[in-house]
Structure 1
Amino acid sequence: MATEGVRRDRPPRTARRSPVNKSGRFDPSLDAAILEAALAGLGELGYERMSMDDIASRARVGKAAIYRRWSSKPAVVADAIAHWRRTLGPVEPPNTGGLRSDIDALVDAVPDFDADALNTIKVIVGVATAAMHHPVLAAALDDLALSTPRQIISAVLDHAVARGDIPAGRDLTLVPDALMGLNVLRVMTGRPIDRVYVRRALETLILPLAAADPGE
């Protein structure tokens, strides 16, 4: 039949492929677009409602392009969180010469609470609810919301002990965890981690350690 001849002459279809660079490797800019799309989906839909199809649509790529890079939704979300953490830049603990001025520096470093900060809370809450079932998400959440702040507070306390602002020999290991617990509680209840809150938490939990009698 004539139609069969037309079909035989038609060039074969080729699968849609992701853009590649001259070396033949996947375009790294597409990786970033996918990760940004995952973050946007987390903020808008939450982890459970967001699908790989949604990520692909937001990134304007085929779903196969995502699966060539990540094996599952938890994997792409974990990398999206790591990508987000890198965009925040390095965070160095202050060492101004005094505990109170270190606290002032920590408070000054808190970003303004705006639409981006609100989206941050939504992303963290969305991932936290799923992290109980996905260890890879739990590890990513720990890096984003817990480990780095914990390390900063620990360093500030170590500096204070070295200067004599806090008596030596005092067990301070629970102080960063207490602060992080308060942060998580605020995030889970949708309240901002703003400068007012950070100052209140630091001055209530940390400064009393510096003023405490070593014999207590």
Structure 2
Amino acid sequence: MTTETAKTAEPARLGRKRDHSRDPEILDAALDVLAEVGYESMTVDMVATRAKAGKATLYRRWSSKADLVVDAIACLKRPVTPDGGPYVPPDTGTLRGDLVAMVKPKVVSDSNRHLKIMLGVTSMLSSEPQLLETLTEIMIKPRIESYRVVMQRAIDRCEVRPDIDIELLSSLGPAMAMYRSLYERQAPSRESIINLIDTVILPAVGLSAPPQGAHE
């Protein structure tokens, strides 16, 4: 068999199939590093070390630090059901019940980490302003859509009048959470968001909050 024949007979090499099974660990490590050192000081090598993964693995999967952080933020912000399906806002039968049910309790350590990640995102946008639209799609719009869904439910059940400004009201919760994180440098607490629901959103649609002391 000639050399040329041997080359023809040899099966084509397809290359090693990429293993994405460790992606969640790597992305979580990226968030940890982002929270600890900020975007400017963060490196892909630091993430590889934290995740105990080969540097080549990360560089094959993500072509830049920005790509890695965007994927990590997307995983952090992607709401899912316990079985991994797409997130559907809770339907409790009332607008307030739905809005409050969307506000997940967080322990202090989770809130502090979230705040540091948000501050890291701020520094990222200073370095990579072209990513603003991408991060808005990831971080803001899904939350606005959840509010929009529960507002429409309230209209459909005739709980609120049909002419309410759904777009404006749906943006209030996410906007205040981002403002508190990025400008006041405080993690938005469950209590502060529920207070926004009771003192701003409900009165805006003509509903009253429960009596003082009956709040969650």
The normalised TM-score by structure 1 is: 0.75
- Write the letter of the residue equivalent to 2:188: I
Aligned partner of 2:74 in structure 1 is: 82
1:99 is aligned to 2:91: no
- Write the letter of the residue equivalent to 1:105: A
Q: Which runs of 4+ in 1 moved over 4 A?
A: 86-90
1:159 is aligned to 2:153: yes
**Partner Cα distance (1:205, 1:81) in 2:** 29
Deviations 1:30-53 (A, max 9, x none): 333322221110111111111122
Rg (Cα) greater in structure: 1
Residue identity over aligned pairs, in percent, reads 33
> Structure 2: where are the runs of 5+ without partners?
1-14, 208-216
Superposition map of 1:1-216 within 5 A: 24-86=16-78, 89=81, 90-106=86-102, 109-134=103-128, 137-188=131-182, 189-211=184-206
Closer/same/farther in 2, CA of residues 105 and 91 from structure 1, 3 Å limit: same
Contact in 2 for aligned 1:187/1:193 (Cα 8 Å): yes
Deviations 1:86-109 (A, max 9, x none): 586453212222223323433xx4
**Partner Cα distance (2:112, 2:100) in 1:** 23
**Partner Cα distance (1:185, 1:202) in 2:** 16
- The number of residue pairs the alignment matches comes to 188
The normalised TM-score by structure 2 is: 0.75
Root-mean-square deviation (CA), in Å?
2.5
- Write the letter of the residue equivalent to 1:28: H
> Structure 1: where are the runs of 5+ without partners?
1-22
Contact in 2 for aligned 1:113/1:194 (Cα 8 Å): no
Q: How far off its partner does 1:199 sit?
A: 0.9
Deviations 1:48-96 (A, max 9, x none): 1111221122123343222111111101111112233358645321222
